[in-house]
């Protein structure tokens, strides 16, 4: 796995931004990632499709709010990457002047079977994502795969607004994998 980032293009995330603005979401309700994931104590999370064991991924109450947008993203990823399925979907808020400390996501086989895609919904010019020593300033609507299982990665939000990303783990279907062999 030689890459740090893979850029997949840009999509319109204005509907998600409007939903974030017009929906009362409790960013402090779910705290697993802040308390149990190394380096992520400054983050806030809204789970959409998720489980802490990565095996029994379930649909959470906020999923219905973002369901249409997730279906559009699923279709985009299918077109770009190949037939597959969003296994995990989280909204991740990194508040202004906060960091995600350097870490790798290698504690579960899930990380080696999926492609971790970040889609900025709200960001700023002083928010930088670093993977394997390479730094990128992701812009709103861009779709970036990061090499999260093999490379150390971190985020610095030195801006004056919170950064919100939609994080999805996309698993290429076995059918597609077999056609590649």
Q: In this structure, what token pair is assigned to residue 72?
A: 């559009």
Residue 119 in contact with residue 100, Cβ under 8 Å? no
pLDDT tens by residue, 46-59: 999 999 998 889 99
- At 179 the pLDDT is 41
How are beta strands 115-122 and 98-103 bridged, if at all? unpaired
d(CA 39, CA 101): 4
What CA–CA distance (Å, rounded) separates 95 from 178?
42
The confidence band for 101, taking pLDDT boundaries of 50, 70 and 90, is very high
Chain mean pLDDT for the chain: 93
- For 168-174, what is the mean pLDDT? 92
Note if the pTM is more than 0.85: yes
Q: What is the pLDDT of residues 33-83, one digit of tens each?
A: 888 877 889 999 999 999 999 888 999 999 999 999 999 999 999 999 999
Secondary structure (3-state) at 137: coil
Asked if residues 61 and 48 have their Cβ atoms less than 8 Å apart, the reply is no
DSSP tally for the chain: helices H, then strands E: 5, 11
């Amino acid at each position: 796995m030689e890459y740090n980032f893979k850029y997949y293009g840009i999509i319109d995330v204005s509907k998600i931004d409007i939903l974030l603005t017009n929906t009362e979401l409790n960013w402090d309700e779910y705290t697993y990632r802040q308390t149990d994931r190394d380096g992520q104590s400054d983050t806030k999370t809204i789970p959409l499709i998720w489980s802490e064991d990565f095996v029994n991924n379930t649909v959470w109450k906020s999923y219905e709010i973002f369901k249409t947008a997730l279906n559009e993203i699923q279709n985009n990823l299918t077109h770009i990457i190949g037939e597959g399925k969003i296994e995990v979907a989280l909204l991740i808020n990194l508040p202004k002047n906060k960091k995600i400390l350097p870490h790798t996501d290698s504690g579960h086989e899930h990380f080696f079977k999926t492609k971790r895609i970040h889609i900025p919904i709200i960001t700023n010019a002083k928010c930088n994502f670093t993977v394997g020593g390479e730094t990128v300033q992701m812009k709103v609507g861009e779709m970036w795969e990061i090499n999260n299982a093999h490379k150390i990665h971190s985020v610095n939000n030195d801006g004056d607004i919170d950064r919100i990303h939609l994080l999805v783990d996309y698993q290429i279907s076995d059918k597609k994998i077999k056609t590649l062999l």
